[in-house]
Amino acid sequence: MLSIGAFARLCGLPSKTLRHYHDLGLLVPARVDAATGYRGYDPAQVEAAVKIRVLRGGGMPLASIREVLDSPDRAAALVEEFHASLRRRREREERALAGAAQALSGAGGAVRERRAPRTRYASVAIPLETDAETGSPSPGVDARVDAAAGDLRQRLAKAGAEPAGPLWTGLAPSGGGLEVRVCAPLPEGPFAVEPSPGGPEIRTAELPERREAFIEVPLPDQPGDETVQLALAALLSQPGEHRPNPRTLRQTLLTGRGSVEFAITLEAAA
């Protein structure tokens, strides 16, 4: 029987840690003296203790280590599963840090200003359903927006009003919630769109001549890439006399360039 000190030296774990593992039931001493409380360990327990130390050194949670020790036939598979999840997490962290460095250095695109002309456009509205607990958009929003964009483009083309440029999207209040508006810039001249049974209503409106801020960044090629969010934050945080109004934010996918542009009105022409 080994004392806790001798056992600690053999397995490379501090005595305090061994006491903690005993309290958790993860590594129970072979014997505990009822009178003194001294812990005694069997030499055969060194193997389990070293496994715990090595796995903890790799970042594995104690609950997962317990499962490894309790399931020797699945131990290797459990370790590989954890290793794979760790690699995925590290990849996400690397992408996040790379995106942050790019955005902070200005390499991912700088916020610029321009004068934009009056723009007549047609739009359809898609209710933005959100998760009641998290507030995040419900699954399928992107697919519905893409379908609405395709339908809008097709209906305008049939009416002889082929969009005069890339479509854009924006958010607008609707009742107690929000809606996504899919917008298409219109050519000059009249047109008439035939109603689409069951389809959203097409409305026309106009953006005034304006001074706007914009930023263009590459489309993310991996889930979890925060480059777009960092660019959007930079755009909304523009200093100056005229603060950006989030309701005027427009997002345009520039698929030919593999990028996305965000634009926001700073000042409408008088």
| Segments making up each domain of the chain, as ranges | 2-70, 112-268
What is the Cα Rg of the chain in Å? 30
* Burial (CB count within 10 angstroms: exposed 0-12, middle 13-18, buried 19+), residue 110: exposed
Asked if the domains 2-70 and 112-268 are classified in one and the same CATH topology, the answer is: no
CB 214, CB 112: distance < 8 Å: yes
CB 194 within 8 A of CB 224: no
The number of residues making up the chain comes to 270
What is the pLDDT at residue 98? 75
Q: In this predicted structure, what is the pLDDT of residue 56?
A: 96
Give residue 30's pLDDT.
Answer: 94
Beta bridge partners of 211: 115, 267
- pTM of the shown model: 0.62
> In this structure, which topology does domain 2-70 adopt according to CATH?
Multidrug-efflux Transporter Regulator; Chain: A; Domain 2 (1.10.1660)
pLDDT at 268: 86
Say if strands 112-116 and 250-254 run parallel, antiparallel, or are unpaired. unpaired
For the chain, residues with pLDDT lower than 50 are none
User: How much is the pLDDT for 195?
Assistant: 66
Enumerate residues 6+ apart whose C-beta is below 8 A from 6.
none
Token pair recorded at residue 129:
């359903």
The architecture (CATH level 2) of 112-268 comes to: Alpha-Beta Barrel (3.20)
